A and B are shown apart, each in its own frame.
Chain A
Amino acid sequence: MKSSLIKSTVIFLGLFFLYFPILVLIFYSFNENKRVMVWKGFSLRWYNELFNNEQIIEAFIISIKIAALSATFATILGVMIGYSLVRIRKIPFKSFYIFLSSTPLVLPELILGLSMLLFFISLNNVIGFPSSRGQLTIFISHVTFCIAFVAIIIQARLTDFNKNIEEAAMDLGYNYTKVLYKITLPIILPSIIAGWLLAFTISLDDLVVASFTTGPGANTLPIVVFSKVRLGLSPEVNALSAILMFALIIIGLFYFYFNKKFKH
């Protein structure tokens, strides 16, 4: 049929558009030549240089550390928000609560970054802390804007599942805390994991907010990469891209696995 031909073509072109740049990046990461665009032959040279580049390795470790910590905090707080919004009736100033928990989703990163930086500077003027910015301030900022993403996933999950299960457990003599730990949390566990993975990836990938709130000894991976490619190309970044894309896509697949799990 003519219409199914159009359909396949559209889908094929769409996927081609989405994957072509990623494939180009991976292809050039195997280029022997120092001049990125001139193909000289297949080589793993830049992967080798990458693993010996202390600046990049150090930045990678810092980024992973910040991402893991901020994802964990954001997940705990995000689960609390999601739970509160769906299951707890009495929230003081509820509109304000919703405002606080959803605005970071739509606020341009640049404005968020600027507000965090000015906040830390003002805080330092008032109480003398934090005396310098660094990993701690990036961590706090990342938690703040990741909370909203986790909250939305948890909220969706809790709205979906039947409250009767919790009530039945309550009728059978479970107290409030026990219902939460034995019934509610296990049921939403896949969504919690999905939320953590999303927060982890967002933190790992963030450049703008980190640029504002960074300080000595806190060059995260995106900051280092950006400084290398802002004005030109870098063969080491090509090698890094290939590895990072691969790793992040695996994380993405896990996210889908966990987020989908609850639908059945």
Chain B
Amino acid sequence: MKNKLFEKYFVFSPYFWLVLFFFIPLAIIFKISISVSEWGMPPYQDIFLFDNGFKINTTFENYVYIFSDYYYIGSFVNSMILALISTFFCLLIGFPLAFYIATSNIRLRNILLVLVVIPFWSSFLLRVYAWKIILQNNGILNVILLNLGITSEPLQLLYNQYAVIMGIVYTYLPLMILPLYGYLNKFDLNLIEASKDLGLNRIKTFFKVILPLSIPGIVAGSLLVFIPVVGEFIIPEMLGGSDRLYYGKILWEEFFVNRNWPGASALAFSGIIILVLPIVIFQILYSRWSQKNEI
């Protein structure tokens, strides 16, 4: 009997916290996103009206509004493209690194892994700031380019989408390397030897043996980079210019500048549906599946 009470306590304490402080806030976002907006404080009407009997007062206008205006759609598309490009470059840099770390001897492997992940522990904001210093007009990169004679006057490297991509690839790289390493580490190196013995050259070995076996790692790493980058706000704000608007920025402005709470909520809720929900469903199905197979 005592066990039961104990188990209940363990299950329900965090349950209670997460329902109250995570689920209800998400529900409130949904509620406000289907509220009728108006001038005032708070800038929306209640969804339940009681003045002349009970009436439900909801609208999908906020969703229609954001999905019919290119300003919002375009920003979301920009963010998706930004996330795709950044994920691609993270993969391009991360894959060889993860592969070579995983194929090093065991002592070196652990040291290298810690070395790769440690920058991830240092402050995110300050790592972005570091790129602001590097890419300045009189920054270190321009000094090098000038001295090498590659350019005759300082290039404008900061405040454009390339600087944003640079900052993102830099800060999110460890998130790509870790899951990749996790899968490559389990990988039997003899397979590479075997494929060479069977006459496949390097390139064929890569495409026929190494790549197919690391697909789960590539998927996991890409998701870990792609999703947060779509919602990224700080990096475009610090390194980007006005050449491109992103989802994070317009969500921020819709709320704080335009004071359109229903609109901002509709944007946020659309983000949840498009980005997060597919992954959460996948995760729940996967954990159920792995549990079933265990039993």
Contacts and interface: CB of A to CB of B under 8 A. Distances in A.
Interface in A142-158: 143-144, 147, 151
B14 A177 contact: no
Given A11-B112, A201-B121, A119 B21 contact: yes
A22 B122 contact: yes
Chain B contact residues: helix, strand, loop or mixed: helix
B268 interface: yes
B2 interface: yes
A10 B177 CA distance: 14
A17 B93 contact: yes
B280 A99 contact: yes
Contacts of A104: 22
A188 to B, nearest CB: 14
B271 interface: yes
A77 interface: yes
B123 A118 contact: no
Contact of A253 (B114, B133, B174): B114
A230 B122 contact: no
A46 interface: no
B121 A255 contact: yes
B284 A111 contact: no
Interface stretch (B50-58, B60-68, B69-77, B228-236): B228-236
Given A77-B17, A80-B10, A230 B130 contact: no
A115 B126 contact: no
Interface string A215-254: 0000000100110011001000110110011001101110
A176 B6 CA distance: 8
Given A229-B132, A233-B136, A244 B126 contact: yes
Q: Which of A106, A225, A237 has the most CB of B within 10 A?
A: A106
Nearest to B10: A80
Contacts of A84: 7, 10-11, 14
Interface in A90-127: 90-92, 95, 97-104, 106-111, 114-116, 118-119, 121-122, 125
Contacts of B268: 110-111, 114-115
A7 B112 CA distance: 13
Contact of B227 (A24, A106, A115, A176): A106
A83 interface: yes
A85 B271 CA distance: 28
B272 A111 contact: yes
A122 to B, nearest CB: 5
Interface in A177-231: 177, 180, 201, 204-205, 207-208, 222, 225-226, 229-230
Interface in B1-40: 2-3, 6-7, 10-11, 13-15, 17-19, 21-26, 28-29, 32
Interface stretch (B96-104, B183-191, B209-217): B96-104
A207 B21 contact: no
A106 B23 contact: no
Contacts, number: 232
Contacts of A238: 133
A245 B23 contact: no
Contacts of B110: 260
Contacts of A98: 283-284, 287
A37 B125 contact: no
Q: Which of A17, A18, A119 has the most CB of B within 10 A?
A: A18
Contacts of A114: 29, 251, 255, 264-265, 268
A115 B121 contact: no
25 contacts: A10-B96, A11-B112, A15-B112, A21-B133, A22-B122, A24-B133, A25-B129, A38-B138, A80-B10, A88-B7, A98-B287, A103-B22, A107-B272, A109-B233, A110-B233, A110-B251, A115-B268, A122-B28, A141-B21, A147-B18, A222-B125, A230-B237, A233-B132, A240-B126, A252-B121
Interface of B: 2-3, 6-7, 10-11, 13-15, 17-19, 21-26, 28-29, 32, 42, 93, 96-97, 100-101, 103-104, 110, 112, 114-127, 129-134, 136, 138-140, 170, 173-174, 223, 227-228, 230-234, 237-238, 248, 251-252, 255, 261, 264-265, 268, 271-272, 275-276, 279-280, 283-284, 287-288
Sorted from nearest, which 3 A-B pairs have the closest CB atoms? A108-B231, A252-B121, A21-B130
Given A109-B228, A253-B118, 11 more contacts: A18-B116, A80-B14, A108-B230, A108-B271, A118-B28, A144-B18, A207-B125, A229-B132, A237-B126, A241-B123, A255-B121
